[in-house]
Structure 1
Amino acid sequence: MNYARRLLAILALFPAPLVIADGTDYPLTLTNCGMEISFQSAPENTVTVGQSATEILYALGLSERVSATSVWFNPVLPEFSEVNAKIERLADNDPSFESVVSRRPELVAVQYEWHIGPTGSVASREQFHELGINTYVMPADCDTKDNSTGGDGTRIAAFSPEHVYKGIHELASIFDVAEDGDALVADLQAREAEAVETAQRLALPEDLSAMFWFSSPNESADPYAAGRLGAPGYMMDVLGIRNVVESDEEWPVVGWESIARADPDIIVVASMDRRRFPADDVENKLEFLHSDPVTREMSAVRNGRIVEMDAHAMSATMRTIFGLEALVEALSTMPFEQ
């Protein structure tokens, strides 16, 4: 747990940071996911494509600057339910290019490059820029990641919450709310450190292992399992848990037979409102794990060590910290043979 010790040591140096944030000096120019973007002033009208960008803007107190949202995995955080109810949802999944443009935004804030990027399912960034609409992609989806491979991309280095914090700080600068950005990051860092410290007190087994199951094309198909370098990989690494999936892909397809041979101690399954695939439904996942002749014999299933987690927490977002907290809470209730 070297990462965990390092995290706690660093944060201990700043128990109560006092940050005096400067106001944004416009025009502001940033390099975002390899593209230079400039702002003459804080955007008044923003459309979000991705729940991560939406919730960060809400957390920064900018809901009045958001005119429409799209791409949702889980219900909005409870503290934002009232403001979110007043904002148009273009689509639960991918919105059309035309629907986004029709809202005449000054900025489109994006969670995934596979929605708005070089081969985006909605559009490329250039298509928006040609219309005078700025785009900002959350750095957690491009820092340490190669999205040119298609699909969910491949991590070329391990994800860290620092990439989420970078996105928060940059959005706060774009909208001239730097103090709010500092406060949000400080809160997330404190929660991260507290979760790690709590886990260290649990005295978990030395070689604890796990796998994260996001979804599958159908209940019995091979799962989209978390690779070792994404957000679930971060959670496992910081808690000293070994990921039985060794791929660097974000969500590689892994055979159940291979997973069963690795026999993880814990299985974390994604819970979501999305219904693109039958296995998006967490109840279908659980039914499969307990009924399939291969999966029902795995240690995690036989011993009831299955954890349900919001799908959005399994992505590289600020909710990853909430997922870390949920995993630590679940671990505290699990019996392990010593």
Structure 2
Amino acid sequence: MFLKPVLAAVLMVWGGTPPAAADTAYPLTLSNCGVELSFDRAPESAVTVGQAATEILYSLGLGDSIKGTSVWFSEVLPQFKDVNDGIERLADNDPSFESVVAKRPDLVTAQYEWHVGPQGIVATRQQFADLGIASYILPSDCVGKDNASGSDGTRTAMYTMDSIYRGVNELARIFDVPHQGETLVADLRQREAGAIAKARGLDLRDASAVFWFSSAEIRTDPFVAGRKGPPGYMMQALGLKNVVDSDEEWPVVSWETIARANPSVIVIAKMDRRRFAADDYRTKLEFLQSDPVTRQMDAVKNNRIVILDAHAMDPSIRNVAALETLAEALPEFGLE
């Protein structure tokens, strides 16, 4: 999204940093994914269930408050390696309810409702509330999204970075660091607008793309990005057509269907997770180049393949870096 004129003017006057926000006034009450939350003071400790939530708190300078992390797709952002090394990783994937509670956090922050929500596989929000533990779900997983439909939820409206910016600012207010939140959001907005402007300068008219996250088995139908999630937003913002027309977050679509659509660009996820063989991007590349169906696609024949951080394909502050990566790659492909 482009900077609004008023915000752009503020940034110029203040040298790229918004005016200092007032300290949080407690009690703080806010609505979060259908649950009313109230805080009498800033939480002193937190456990994160989801890399996106972890990296937001790190970005706000709140590493000292985090007592445990979980659900990792990629290595932590380099600037947070030192702080992350000193914090216990409760699980690479899904933590147990007991391991979270054992850290005695004031707050549990989660990336996905399917971890902490009505049918949460870690716990429901009420289970935490019964123990006096507040829970916060990133708005990016519930704003404009129905998590009761589809395996990873279904988008009812196009994802935008606004839901991430909302999460940043709300967490900053909860922890009484509102100025850090506004500064982070201002920086991300500038970078987002710059990447979009660069790609839009190419004036793409007929270019298309597909985002491949992973596959349960390498030769089975892949999990690809639906049209309204973060990759759908990226494609729309950069002038690319998504060849997948499902509103599910990560629908399963056959390679035959994708090959018939013949996307101009294929974006594949690179991750450290190894839940499936196809989590390895090198396995993805080998498959694309050897399978009799996929190797006939123009994107494969012409090596128009972008390797993208997997976590940047999910709702997170890394979406901005993904936009920048794609904006850098597209001019090299000679698309129209």
| TM-score, normalisation: structure 1 | 0.95
Q: Which residue of 2 aligns with 1:233?
A: 232
Matches within 5 A, 1:97-176: 97-149=97-149, 151-176=151-176
Q: Which residue of 2 aligns with 1:283?
A: 282
Distance (whole Å) between structure 2 residues aligned to residue 254 and residue 7 of structure 1 = 35
Deviations 1:265-284 (A, max 9, x none): 00000000011111111111
1:334 Cα offset (Å): 1.8
Aligned partner of 1:33: which letter? C
1:285 Cα offset (Å): 0.5
Deviations 1:105-125 (A, max 9, x none): 000000000111111111111
Q: Which residue of 2 aligns with 1:27?
A: 27
Aligned partner of 2:290: which letter? S
SS in 2 for 1:127: helix
Q: How many residues align?
A: 332
Distance (whole Å) between structure 2 residues aligned to residue 101 and residue 280 of structure 1 = 30
* Unaligned runs of at least 5 residues, structure 2: none
1:29 Cα offset (Å): 1.1
Distance (whole Å) between structure 2 residues aligned to residue 145 and residue 184 of structure 1 = 25
1:249 Cα offset (Å): 0.3
Distance (whole Å) between structure 2 residues aligned to residue 10 and residue 72 of structure 1 = 37
Deviations 1:219-274 (A, max 9, x none): 11101010000000010010111000000000000010000000000000000001
Distance (whole Å) between structure 2 residues aligned to residue 140 and residue 292 of structure 1 = 36
Contact 2:199 2:239 in 1 (8 A): no
SS in 2 for 1:182: helix
Matched, 1:316 2:308: no
Distance (whole Å) between structure 2 residues aligned to residue 114 and residue 331 of structure 1 = 34
| TM-score, normalisation: structure 2 | 0.96
1:321 Cα offset (Å): 0.7
1:22 Cα offset (Å): 1.1
Matches within 5 A, 1:22-61: 22-61=22-61
Deviations 1:48-71 (A, max 9, x none): 000001000000000000010000
Aligned partner of 1:333: which letter? E
Distance (whole Å) between structure 2 residues aligned to residue 11 and residue 329 of structure 1 = 26
Distance (whole Å) between structure 1 residues aligned to residue 74 and residue 334 of structure 2 = 29
Distance (whole Å) between structure 2 residues aligned to residue 87 and residue 10 of structure 1 = 40
Contact 1:11 1:193 in 2 (8 A): no
Q: Which residue of 2 aligns with 1:87?
A: 87
Residues 118 and 156 (structure 1 numbering): CA distance in 2 closer, same or farther, change over 3 Å? same
* Unaligned runs of at least 5 residues, structure 1: none
1:293 Cα offset (Å): 0.2
Matched, 1:261 2:254: no
Q: Which residue of 1 aligns with 2:302?
A: 303
Matches within 5 A, 1:139-218: 139-149=139-149, 151-201=151-201, 203-218=202-217
